[in-house]
């Protein structure tokens, strides 16, 4: 009995040895996430919903402006139909639902879009030219759509020549018309709607819920309170068949975790795989608390320095007194920029990239725009040491007094009519906290200058609606965004022809000032210039930027250092500079789909339906092993025979013991034998005894 227990113990130990040799560094993940029953954490990619609470999470008609943006709920990353994307790291186009580049006529008044054959909506309906034409025609006749003003300005007509060719006639030449249908920065308002779903619906009141996807995921469920959206992988995706693309995560969850400290805590607990950004203090908490964290780089500094949008302050020039250029300029020169800059210095060495203009200071932009304009900008008030506007409160006071402002007995500024001047800065609450910080920092500078300032933080829905409808005086905004060397698509919004009375914004493109006609003319000339005439485009853009700097309709600070942190504990394959820099690590942009398509599970947590690597299928499940009745009987007979075998082994063990004594005697008598020879003879003797044992067993049978 003891021998049996001894043998069993040895067998268990031998079976356990492979597991004991594996090094375990797995931390428990006890994420409290809204997942379907039985779904393991390893099947889910968790992305931050940076827009916070969606007022109506069942409204996916983002054609109507004034709603929370599409990047917080996953719509533009996982679902929407786009013709082209721009790779943010190379600047090159990606043909997506379009089969290739557009084809323009010689006079740039006719353009053809060629649709990819074999693409289909996730309900199986083919994606065709008729969907594109329907989207364009609906935009032309629907004033409430955000794309209406552009369509009215440029499009004469659109028709489908066949199922895969769209022909568009323009009202006037426009060699970059297709940019409107391209995801360049963040997203694209010209996402294509499925005709067979939208046809016959009211294009304004129709909610498009659940949204019919053409992307790698379908909407599975939403939080009634509007904080999270859960998407499930489409197993029959067209891009898997045509391009071999298939994402590894079975689910993608976009979730609002709350303010910075809660997001940071979630990321240290592996409850959030990627986020938009954090303030430096919260980023420090994550960097120190989670050894699996990476950023734009895998080592410090982690912050992504080139967010394509400049952060700053927007003035509503349709409201007094911000329609006065001297007021806007005075408020700019009253700011000590050093205080703003230092507030964004990161513990990991990350720093802001300063810009006084509404374009991002990419290295190529410095060469093309900033350095050539330096002398003119200095004349307008640039401080060449900081590359921002000079801090000159005396000049700011002079500007205000020149238009009737004066100080009261308490030193506070009064409006020309004698009333106290109070500025209310609208800022975001629960997301874009770096913009909220800029609001408070700016308010402090203006208070020091003698102005009564209040910062009002509001939720995403209110924030977006106020901006779109022009319902604020001053707000923390994105005064400019850029990604291309050709600034035409980035500066067009300055032109008065794009003014939309239903979504006036801060009103700059309707603002009347002495050089308005000149500005409009320059932009229209840029629009008419072929994309290949780079020198002319740069020259025209410089003139537009100088007019902007003269008027200062907004205050530009910098693209804030974005701590676009990723947790490599559950998923890896993230883009990092410089070795794996295939796309910017921007989870709220539509291009993040291409990042999701590269991710793979690390193996640190259990998975069930996550693919072992992207683009493959799960291994087929093998049926459980069944033991035939005949084999069961054979095993039973073998078990009884083992008793005889054990007896034989005991006999062999005794003989081996006797042989050991004999070998010892031989070693003493044959001293000249080497140790190796002795061992060889002993092994031969053991083999002989084993053979004898087997013979004994055979005879007993």
Residue 640: the pLDDT is 55
Residue 366 to residue 242: CA distance in whole angstroms: 41
Among 177, 161, 190, 179, which residue's Cα sits nearest to residue 105? 177
For the chain, first and last CA: distance in Å? 25
Query: Which parts of the chain register pLDDT below 70?
Result: 1-31, 430, 620-701
pLDDT score, position 380: 98
Domains of the chain with bracketed CATH: 42-79+215-304+563-615 (3.40.190.10), 84-202 (3.90.76.10), 320-558 (3.10.105.10), 629-700 (no CATH)
pTM: 0.74
- Spell out the SS3 assignment of 211-274: CCCCCCEEEEEECCCCCEEEEEECCCCHHHHHHCCCCCCCEEEEECCCCHHHHHHHHHCCCCCE
Query: Nearest Cα to 396, choosing from 471, 337, 442, 446?
Result: 446
| Burial of 209 per CB tally in 10 Å (0-12, 13-18, 19+) | middle
**Tokens at 512, concatenated:** 């009347």
- Among all chains, which residue has been given the structure tokens 């499009």? 155
| 276 to 34, 263, 298, 442, 468: CA distances (angstroms) | 20, 10, 17, 23, 22
pLDDT at position 143, please? 95
List beta partners, residue 310.
Answer: 480
> What is the dihedral sign for C-alpha 585, 588, 594, 599?
positive
Rounded to whole angstroms, the Cα distance separating 45 from 27 reads: 17
Is the CB of residue 133 less than 8 Å from the CB of residue 158?
yes
DSSP for 593-629, written as a single string:
HHHHTT-EE-SSS--SSS-SSTT--PPPPPPPP---H
For residue 281, give the nearest of 297, 299, 261, 300 by alpha carbon.
261
CA–CA separation, 189 vs 493, rounded Å? 14
Q: For residues 525 and 504, what is the distance between their CA atoms, to the nearest angstrom?
A: 24
Q: Provide, for the chain, the percentages of residues in helix, strand and coil under a 3-state DSSP scheme, each rounded to the nearest 5.
A: 35, 15, 45
Q: What is the DSSP letter of 571?
A: E
Could you give the CA distance from residue 591 to residue 71 in angstroms, rounded to a whole number? 10
Token digits of residue 453: 């300032």
- Is residue 180 classed as helix, strand or coil in its secondary structure? helix
For residue 630, what pLDDT is reported?
59
List of residues 6+ apart from 492 with CB closer than 8 A: 498, 523, 526, 527
CA nearest 180: which of 584, 588, 501, 493?
A: 493
Could you tell me the sign of the dihedral formed by the alpha carbons of 580, 585, 589, 590, in that order? positive
- Cα dist. 366→90, 360, 484, 563 in Å? 17, 9, 13, 23
CB 561 within 8 A of CB 303: yes
Residues 6+ apart with CB under 8 A from 95: 84, 101, 116
Write out the E strands in 302-360: 309-315
List of residues 6+ apart from 641 with CB closer than 8 A: 701
Maximal CA-CA distance, the chain: 125
Give the DSSP letter of residue 370. I
Shortest CA distance to 312 belongs to which of 48, 472, 552?
Answer: 552
**Are 403 and 330 spatial neighbours (Cβ–Cβ below 8 Å)?**
no
d(Cα 690, Cα 649) in Å, to the nearest integer? Answer: 9
319-324 long-range contacts, CB within 8 A, separation 24+: 319/473, 321/403, 321/415, 321/421, 322/473, 322/474, 323/511, 324/403
Q: What is the pLDDT of residue 467?
A: 82
**Rounded Cα gap, residues 183 and 88, in angstroms:** 10
Residue 324: the pLDDT is 97
Give the pairing of strands 182-183 and 84-86: parallel
Task: Answer yes or no: are the C-beta atoms of 209 and 60 closer than 8 Å.
Answer: yes
d(CA 102, CA 93) in angstroms, rounded, equals: 11
Q: How far apart are CA 69 and CA 76, in angstroms?
A: 9
> Rounded to whole angstroms, how far apart are CA atoms 683 and 660?
11
Query: Nearest CA to 340 among 421, 432, 446, 429?
Result: 446
């Amino acid at each position: 009995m003891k021998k049996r227990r001894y043998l069993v113990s040895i067998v268990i130990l031998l079976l356990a040895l492979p597991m004991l040799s594996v090094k375990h560094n797995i931390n428990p993940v006890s994420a409290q996430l809204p997942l379907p029953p039985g779904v393991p954490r390893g099947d889910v990619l968790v992305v931050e919903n940076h827009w916070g609470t969606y007022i109506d999470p069942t409204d996916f008609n983002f054609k109507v402006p004034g709603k929370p943006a599409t990047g917080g709920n996953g719509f533009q990353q996982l679902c929407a139909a786009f013709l082209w994307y721009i790779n943010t790291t190379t600047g090159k186009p990606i043909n997506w639902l379009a089969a290739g580049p557009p084809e323009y006529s010689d006079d740039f008044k006719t353009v053809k879009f060629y649709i990819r054959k074999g693409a289909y909506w996730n309900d199986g309906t083919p994606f065709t030219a008729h969907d594109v034409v329907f989207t364009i025609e609906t935009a032309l006749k629907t004033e409430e759509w955000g794309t209406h003003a552009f369509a009215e300005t440029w499009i004469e007509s659109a028709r489908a020549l066949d199922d895969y060719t769209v022909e568009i006639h323009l009202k006037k030449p426009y060699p970059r018309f297709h940019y409107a249908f391209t995801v360049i920065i963040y997203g694209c308002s010209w996402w294509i709607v499925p005709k067979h779903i939208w046809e016959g619906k009211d294009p304004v009141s129709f909610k498009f819920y659940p949204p019919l996807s053409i992307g790698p995921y379908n909407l599975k469920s939403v939080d009634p309170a509007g904080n999270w959206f859960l998407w499930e992988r489409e197993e029959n995706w067209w891009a898997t068949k045509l391009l071999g693309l298939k994402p590894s995560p079975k689910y993608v969850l976009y979730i609002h975790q709350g303010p910075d400290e809660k997001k940071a805590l979630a990321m240290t607990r592996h409850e959030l795989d990627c986020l938009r950004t954090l303030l430096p203090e919260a980023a420090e908490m994550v960097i120190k608390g989670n050894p699996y964290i990476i950023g734009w780089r895998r080592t410090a500094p982690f912050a992504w320095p080139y967010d394509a949008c400049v952060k700053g302050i927007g003035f509503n020039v349709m409201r007094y007194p911000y329609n006065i250029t001297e007021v806007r300029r005075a408020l700019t020169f009253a700011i000590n920029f050093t205080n703003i800059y230092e507030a964004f210095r990161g513990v990991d060495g990350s720093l802001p990239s300063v810009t006084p203009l509404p374009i991002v200071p990419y290295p190529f932009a410095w060469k093309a725009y900033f350095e050539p304009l330096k002398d003119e900008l200095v004349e307008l008030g640039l401080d060449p040491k900081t590359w921002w506007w000079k801090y000159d409160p005396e000049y700011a006071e002079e500007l205000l007094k020149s238009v009737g402002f004066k100080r009261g007995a308490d030193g506070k500024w009064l409006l020309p009519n004698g009333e106290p001047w109070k500025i209310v800065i609208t800022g975001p609450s629960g997301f874009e906290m770096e913009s909220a910080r800029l609001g408070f920092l700016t308010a402090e500078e203006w208070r020091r200058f003698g102005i009564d300032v209040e910062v009002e933080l509001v939720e995403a829905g209110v924030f977006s609606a106020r901006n779109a409808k022009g319902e604020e005086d001053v707000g923390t905004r994105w005064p400019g965004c850029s990604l291309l060397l050709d600034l035409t698509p980035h500066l067009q919004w300055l032109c008065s022809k794009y003014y939309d009375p239903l979504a006036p914004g801060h009103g700059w493109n309707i603002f009347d000032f002495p050089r308005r006609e000149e500005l409009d003319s320059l932009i229209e000339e840029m629009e008419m210039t072929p994309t290949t005439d780079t020198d002319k485009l740069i020259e025209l853009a410089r003139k537009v930027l100088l007019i902007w700097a003269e008027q200062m309709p907004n205050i530009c600070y910098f693209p804030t250092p974005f701590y676009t942190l990723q947790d490599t504990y559950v998923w890896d394959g993230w883009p990092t500079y410089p070795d794996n820099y295939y796309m910017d690590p921007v989870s709220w942009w539509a291009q993040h789909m291409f990042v999701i398509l590269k991710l793979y599970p690390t193996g640190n947590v259990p998975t069930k339906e996550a693919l072992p690597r992207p683009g493959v299928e799960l291994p087929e499940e093998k049926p459980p092993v069944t033991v035939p009745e005949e084999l069961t009987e054979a095993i039973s007979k073998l078990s009884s025979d083992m008793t005889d075998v054990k007896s034989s082994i005991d006999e062999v063990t005794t003989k081996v013991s006797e042989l050991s004594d004999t070998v010892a005697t031989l070693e003493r008598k044959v001293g000249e034998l080497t140790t190796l020879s002795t061992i060889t003879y002993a092994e031969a003797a053991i083999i002989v005894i084993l053979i004898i044992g087997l013979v004994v067993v055979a005879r007993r049978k």
